[in-house]
Every structure is written in C-alpha cells, then in structure tokens.
Amino acid sequence: MKQHLITDIKTNKNILGCYFMTVQNLGKFAKQIYLKGRNEMEKTGNPIMKAHSSEVEPEMFRVLTPDGEIIETIDGKIDKSLMLKMYESMLLLRTFDRKSINLQRQGRIGTYAPFEGQEASQAGSALALAAGDWMFPTYRDHGAAIIHGQELYRVFLYWMAHFDGSICPEGKRLLPPSVPIATQMLHAVGTAWASKIKGEKNVSIAYFGDGATSEGDFHEALNFAGVYKTPTIFFCQNNGYAISVPFEKQSASKTISQRAAAYDIHGVRVDGNDIFAVWMTVKEAVERALKGEGPTLIEAITFRYGAHTTADNPNIYRDQDEISTFWRENRDPITRLRKYLNKEGHWNEEQEELVLKQFNELIDAHLKKAEGYPKSDPLEMFNHVYAEESWHLKEQKQELNQFLKKGGKK
C-alpha cells in the first residue's frame, strides 16, 4: 500500500505527499494533505514541517524561516559574533561529516553514523551550554560533542575503533556515545541530580532520537527528572526515522514534546533546522534548570539527509532522493542562515571559501593525527576493567603477553 501511495503521489507530482504518507493514508487522503500543505506553503512560504507524523503540522518554535527571515526577536540574545560562530560551527560539522563518509568508503574508518542535515540541532544546542555542563551524546551526536569540546581526531579515533576515541578532553564532562538507546537519559538525570545536591551551576543534556522515545528508559528518565526537578535537558532530534521505522509507527502521539505534559515537566517543540530557535530554546531550558525549575524536554524537528549508518541503505525504506532533495532545498539549516547572513551583510563568498579551506585543513590535520596515533596495544584491553587490576585479569594479560612474545598471532 505504501508503494502504491508513492506512485499515486508521484503521478500527482506531489513532493510533499511522501512526508504525509502513513500506512493508513490512502491516496485520496494523501492528496488532500498535500493540497493542504501546498496551500500553506504558498500562503506562508513555509512548507509544513511534516517529515514525520500526523497530517496537521503541530506548532513549533521558529525564529529563522527557511527563506532567511527573522520572525521572532533575537535582540539581546543572539549577536553577530554568535551568529557567525553558529554558522561556522555548522559548516565545520558538515565538512567533517562528509569527510567521514568518504573515509569510511575508503576503508580508513569503520562503520560511521552520519548526521548531515542535523547540524543546527547539534551545534545550536551545544553552543547554548556552558563549558562545565554534562553532555550525554549518542553515536550520531559527535557534532554536538565536537562543539562542546571534543577534539576531531578523537572522533576519528572512535570510528576507527580505537580505545582513546572515547576519551574527552581533560576536565570536560563529555561522556562517550551511548549505544543502547535512551539509556544515557537516566545518566543525565543522575549527574544533574548530583549537581543540584552539590549546588553546582551546571546542567546535564542528553541527546536522543525519536526512536528512543519508545524505550522505557525515556519515560523513566522524564519521570525521575520530574520528581527530583533535576537540571536536565532532554534533547530529542526527531529526524522522522528510527533507522527505517517512521515516527508514526513509533507512537500514536502527535508530538514528542507533548509527552512532557504527562510528567508535568516543560516541553518544547522547535524547528531543529533553525539554529536560532534551537539555541534559544536550549538556552532558556538551561536558565530554567539553573533557577531550579527542573528539566525540559525539547523536540527538535530535523532530518538526516543520509543513511542511518554507512552500513544502511535508506532506499529500502523511504524515497531517499526525493525526501532528501526536499529537505536540502527547502529546509537546510546552513542555507537558511547563510541567506540571512548574506542579507545582513555579515557573510560573503570569499569568507565562505576561506573558512571552508581552513576547515578542510583542520580536519586533515586531525585525520593525520588520528591515523598516526599509536595503535592500540592488544594488552591495553585488560586495562581499566577495574580501578585496581584483579588477579584473573593480571594472569590473562600475562597469558596473552606470553603468547604474543612467542610470536603468536591473532
């Protein structure tokens, strides 16, 4: 039925239609939705933000339209230097992401999880944090981690499967990417709780996706944070798909942010491709948290242009070209900020070229560092299992060492 719908929509040249598609929607219904969306787009110049779920786009907070227009006041909040920092951050992340995919294709790094399209969500949220705030990213949030202070070569090392890829800079509170979905949200509750107990002015932010909102830990985290009013920011990047499963199959909830109401915590739905809106939303959440007003659940609507990982083929589960093209052309986070900056005279082609050149050089330098980084010693696997090495690990380490010394091979 889904396939049928796509055909139906395609023959109607219904680009938007594919985002409204649900298994339940029949062609006729999809067409109605499409027309509704097109009308709205024609009316407001903004396409419905609907990559994801219900037919009627719920409200969301937006500051910068896709056309580069400011529709909320940013005075006293976002100045020129911050805007440029935001722009350059997104540019750096995109360059890094594309480079990483190439490196994976060349076999120089392992399986990689790209985030292109989500730069505003990741950079915007990370830029709103203080240096001492706790960050709990997932495997797709190295963009946020980089902005929060993770070094590029360490990110490369992580995807090269080097132990030292999970280490963060000294003094940072940046945890390694969480692989089990939603589990890290509870850690962010715990660290924030401890901050609160100790009277430290820090928040904890947990990153997760729309799929994570089905996990028990998501609910337990929101609930715990609500009960103890922890200074936690739950930052959900709703990119519409948990690998292949669209959000409408994930939940009957219209939005993710509405779940906040159930736990009586603050919830915000924000345009995740609008870095101004993301930054302002997170900033406000930080302020609320530090005032003792508790956690915030933020749902940032965004889209990953590429595959789930380099091992994934999105053509199997969505009309990849069409949907990606739509988002790139109509909703790209970098494009819209560039439009605004160009209009304001804050940015031009020469600057762009110069910065891109610098970024490429920077990334290459870090890649070189990562590739030249001392390889993991096999014996390193025995370290850090416990603070103090126990007898059995000592012996097993010795056993492997002896084996290697005698010329034993893996």
Partner 1 sequence: MMGKNLTMLQAITEALDQMLGNDDRVMILGEDIGVNGGVFRSTEGLYEKYGNDRVVDTPLAESGIIGSAIGLALNGMLPIVEIQFLAFIYPGFEQLVSHAARMRYRTRGQFGVPLVIRTPYGAGIRGPELHSESVETFFAHTPGLKVVAPSNPYDAKGLLISALEDPDPVIFWNRLNCIGLLRKKFPTKCTEYQSVKQKWSRRKRSDHFCMGAMLREALNATKKIEAEKGWKCEVVDLRTLYPLDRDTIVQSIKKTGRALIVHEAHKTAGLGAEIISIINDEALIYLKAPIKRVTGFDVPVPPFTIEDHYLPTVDRVKQGIVETISF
The binding site for partner 1 (CB under 8 A) comprises 134, 163-164, 166-168, 173, 175-176, 178-180, 183-195, 197-198, 204, 216-217, 220-221, 223-224, 227, 383-388, 390-392
- Buried b / exposed e along 74-100 (16+ C-beta atoms within 10 A): beeebeeeebbebbbbbbbbbbbbebb
Looking at the Cβ atoms of 234 and 276, the one nearer to partner 1 is 234
Distance from C-alpha of 302 to C-alpha of 121, rounded to nearest angstrom? 7
Q: What is the smallest separation between the CB atom of 395 and partner 1, expressed in angstroms?
A: 9
Looking at the Cβ atoms of 33 and 297, the one nearer to partner 1 is 297
Instruction: Work out the angle between the directed axes of helices 183-198 and 216-228 (0-180°, nearest 10).
Output: 10
DSSP 292-348: T---EEEEEE---SS-SSTT--GGGTS-HHHHHHHHHHHH-HHHHHHHHHHHHTS--
Q: What is the smallest separation between the CB atom of 227 and partner 1, expressed in angstroms?
A: 6
Which of the following is catalytic: 142, 173, 266, 304? 304
Q: What is the smallest separation between the CB atom of 320 and partner 1, expressed in angstroms?
A: 32
Distance from C-alpha of 202 to C-alpha of 289, rounded to nearest angstrom? 9
Looking at the Cβ atoms of 184 and 296, the one nearer to partner 1 is 184
Q: What is the smallest separation between the CB atom of 205 and partner 1, expressed in angstroms?
A: 12
Q: Is 308 a catalytic residue?
A: yes
Q: What is the smallest separation between the CB atom of 195 and partner 1, expressed in angstroms?
A: 6
Distance from C-alpha of 135 to C-alpha of 145, rounded to nearest angstrom? 8
Q: Which residue has the tokens 């003792």?
A: 292
Which of the following is catalytic: 94, 259, 308, 331? 308
Distance from C-alpha of 212 to C-alpha of 162, rounded to nearest angstrom? 27
Bridge partners for 236 per DSSP: 208, 299
Looking at the Cβ atoms of 201 and 343, the one nearer to partner 1 is 201
Do the Cβ atoms of 305 and 117 come closer than 8 Å?
yes
The identity of residue 57, as a single letter, is E
Q: What is the smallest separation between the CB atom of 288 and partner 1, expressed in angstroms?
A: 19
Which of the following is catalytic: 98, 228, 288, 317? 317
Do the Cβ atoms of 25 and 33 come closer than 8 Å?
yes
Q: Is 317 a catalytic residue?
A: yes
DSSP 347-395: --HHHHHHHHHHHHHHHHHHHHHHHTSPPPPGGGGGTTSSSS--HHHHH
Looking at the Cβ atoms of 157 and 301, the one nearer to partner 1 is 157
Looking at the Cβ atoms of 68 and 190, the one nearer to partner 1 is 190
Do the Cβ atoms of 182 and 218 come closer than 8 Å?
yes
Which residues participate in catalysis according to the annotation? 304, 308, 317
